[in-house]
Amino acid sequence: MKGFMCMNEITLEQVRPSVITTNGLTKKFGNMVAVDNLHLEIRRGDVFGFLGPNGSGKTTTIRMLLGLLKPTAGSICIFGLDNATHLQEILPRIGGIIEAPVYYSYLSGRENLRAFALASGMTGGTKTKRRVEEMLELVDLTAQAKDAVSKYSLGMKQRLAIGIALLADPELVLLDEPTNGLDPVGVQEIRQMIMRLAEVGKTVMLSSHILSEVQQVCNRVAILQKGRMIRQGEVRDLLRQGERLLVRMNTREEALAALTWLRSGPAWVARVELQGVELQIDAPVARSSEIVALLACQQLYPAEIRPWQTSLEEIFMELVGPEEGRNGMAALAG
Amino acid sequence: MAINPISPEQTFPQADRSASVEMGRRDYLSTVWRLTRMELYKLYRRRYSQIVLATLLGLVASGVVVIGFFDMSQANAPASNFAPPRCVSLHNGQQYCSNQTFSQAQLERAKTAAMQENAQSLGLPGSLTAIVTVLSINLITTLGILLLGPLVGTEYGMGTIRLLFTRGPTRLQCMLAKVVAALIYTMVALLLVMAAYIVLGMIFYPMTGEPYSYTFSFFSQADFRIMLSNALLLGLIDIVYWFTYGVMALFFGSIGRSTAAAIGGTFAWYTLEILLIYLLEFLQGVIPTGALYTFFKGVPDYLLFNNLNSLVQNRLHFLNNGNPLSSISDLHACIVVAVYLVVLVGASCLITMRRDVTS
């Protein structure tokens, strides 16, 4: 077999094999480094969130995965095959939306699906036409199927793009901002669709600015900044790292006393912030009873103590920095 | 604990697709043919292509109507209108005149001969000759650039190129499909126009005042066989003419990544070649001898415009005895045009295969 083959050792445990692996993936445009030494791993069945502010290299990475850009250095393995030499075997198994949805504006929704069905290797016969109707129903465009896409709203165009991506029933689905332009009902439908895809064994790679949606649907994420991966892992592990305890004291004086004591207190208390009479303590939730006991020793008795889970958005803002994080979040608010 | 490595096919066997997905054959030619069908599907449904084709058909229909009314006016004109001009009223350049007085019978015969000649352009086989000659006129062939220009440029403009290149087929297959679709579309469009002219000619033929003969006896006459074969060849040359400039539009569209680049670039090449021919002719006059003169004289024989036109001119020599043969032989012209086609298609494919797609 030409090129090198990516071998995935599978242990006896149920470790899911890697569908996408990048090794030192780098892309330079002249002197500008768009992607820098990226080591990415997406496992079969993952709903993988690919996050980062604008210009962090997400779209460049997706384009390299799909063979639209040639990497400057590094390698890509998809389905165990080297992207550089087996692209034509890989691509029929992938469906995706890259950046904005694209379509032939002079064709209707139905005609677009039929055209791309042929491009995807489908026969174009009766069965394909039925499949096209299935996709129109799935993305709720049956009523507008005859209209030229130039007359579609942004949400309709987005749904059409999803239909095109899922037309050939791919194993791996790459979605770049799939909820862009959709109303809340549409966003919920896309979320449910992604979860259904995961349930039937598809692997989904999702790039999005709506971190609340990513948190709901993704099991693993990678966060990029300026072309580099700054964090990759399970969402629940990331959220656990951001676990906090909220302790409400009875008076401001007691809160100030507790703040002073905790800041000079045990090493496993990472940080303490005060807001009014509430203390936000960076400490494992499992140690809440210890916090209560320690405060009681100082004659300080909290009115309430409860765990507070941070969100992916807060973790993202902390990792990429407030300015870049705001720029990234503002992209959608636009 | 390391396990014996498993081959990719075992680790990632192709998952079964949904039962409603029917995939076609994946060999090279089947893939190119499927992509060609997609390109033709888009071309036929595109309003722009429909307008260009409709414009062409409209021009043809208008031409037939104009010829029909002209022939009708000639048929209703008095026979005295068909006498040659008197030499006293000669203008410079007029070739034939006569001061003879013609009888009414002679004038009637002259009128009949003129009407029969006029009617040829509306009735077979003359209408075939007429339409293939019209389609070879330079101004008309430029419509091929408009017809095929958007094939590649639009993909970049709309961004659909990134979807096309990520469906599975190679970029080379995608480009070859566009070239094949361009050829098929050109053939169908021109054959449609030729058929439209011939059919409309037969409908408007009665306006000529001449009786129509439905028996074609020309196959038994050597002259008509030569005429028919040259007319058919000229039709084929028309297709090649249009297709060649269409392929040039694909080339410029691939370089410039837009329809404007495709159409503008091709028209610019077309115009520059004509200007170059005039410049070289002028330079031959300035330097009438020596190696430079030979060079200036030889270059036009390798320009696309001259070679395509020489193929046309050589056919017109047999269809219309007044036309001289071109200095470029058919064999030379065919080779040069073939080389241009190979270079243009090859360059388009090479550029497309190697570039990063960022749009």
Interval A205-214: pLDDT, tens: 999 878 888 8
pTM of this structure:
0.82
Q: How far apart are CA B272 and CA B278, in angstroms?
A: 10
Residue at B16 is within a domain? no
In a domain, B20, yes or no: no
A12 pLDDT band (50/70/90 cuts)? very low
**Interchain CB distance below 8 Å, B34 and A124:** yes
B280 within a domain of the structure (yes/no): yes
Residue written as token pair 């069945």: A45
A99 vs B contacts (CB less than 8 Å): 159
B22, B29, B355: best mutation site toward chain A, by most A Cβ within 10 Å? Answer: B22
| Alpha-carbon A214 to chain mean position | 5
Name the H helices within chain B. 8-11, 28-45, 47-76, 104-119, 126-134, 138-141, 143-148, 150-158, 160-164, 171-204, 222-256, 259-286, 290-298, 304-319, 330-354
Burial label, A319 (beta-carbon count in 10 A; 0-12, 13-18, 19+)? middle
Helix residue ranges, H only, chain A: 58-65, 83-90, 109-119, 126-138, 154-166, 184-199, 211-217, 235-241, 252-263, 288-297, 312-320, 322-333
CB A77 within 8 A of CB A21: yes
B88 lies in some domain? yes
Q: How confident is the model at residue A11 (pLDDT cuts 50, 70, 90)?
A: very low
- For residue B275, being part of any structural domain is answered with yes
| Residue B127 DSSP code | H
- Chain B residues near residue A42 by CB distance under 8 angstroms: none
pLDDT per position in chain B (359 positions), as tens?
Answer: 444 445 555 567 777 788 889 999 989 999 999 999 999 999 999 988 889 889 889 988 999 999 999 888 888 888 888 877 777 655 555 556 777 778 888 888 888 888 887 888 888 878 888 888 888 887 777 788 888 888 888 899 889 999 999 999 999 999 999 999 999 999 999 999 999 999 999 899 888 887 776 555 444 567 777 888 888 899 999 999 999 999 999 999 999 999 999 999 999 999 999 999 999 999 999 988 899 899 999 999 999 999 999 999 998 888 876 678 889 999 999 999 999 999 999 999 999 999 998 87
Domain membership of residue B14 (yes or no) is: no
Contact A11 B22 (CB under 8 A): no
Task: State how far residue B344 is from chain A, nearest Cα, in angstroms.
Answer: 23
CB B29 within 8 A of CB B37: no
Partners of B159 on chain A (C-beta within 8 Å) are 99-100, 102
With respect to residue B21, please indicate whether it lies within any of the assigned structural domains.
no
Q: Does any domain span residue B283?
A: yes
CA terminus-to-terminus distance, chain B? 46
Contacts of B116 (CB under 8 A, 6+ apart): B210
Spell out a b/e string for B49-79, using b for 16 or more CB atoms within 10 Å of the CB, else e.
beebbeebbeebeebbeebbeebbebbeeeb
Mean pLDDT for all residues in chain A: 86
B202, B124 in Cβ contact below 8 A?
yes
DSSP β-ladder status, A32-38 and A172-176 = unpaired
Interval A23-33: pLDDT, tens:
999 999 999 99
The predicted-structure confidence for A275-332, as pLDDT tens digits, reads as follows: 899 998 888 888 889 889 989 999 999 999 988 877 888 788 877 776 555 554 444 4
What pLDDT was estimated at residue A5? 45
Q: What is the pLDDT of residue A117?
A: 95
Q: Per-residue DSSP letters for A92-158? A: GGEEEE-SS----TTSBHHHHHHHHHHHTTB--SHHHHHHHHHHHHHTT-STTTTSBGGGS-HHHHH
**A51-100: per-residue pLDDT in tens?**
988 888 999 999 999 999 999 999 999 999 999 999 999 999 999 988 88
Question: In chain B, how many domains are there?
Answer: 1
**Chain A: residue nearest B7 by CA?**
A7
Of A102, A107, A169, the CB nearest to B21: A169
- Domain region containing B55: 28-354
Calculate mean pLDDT across residues A224-235: 90
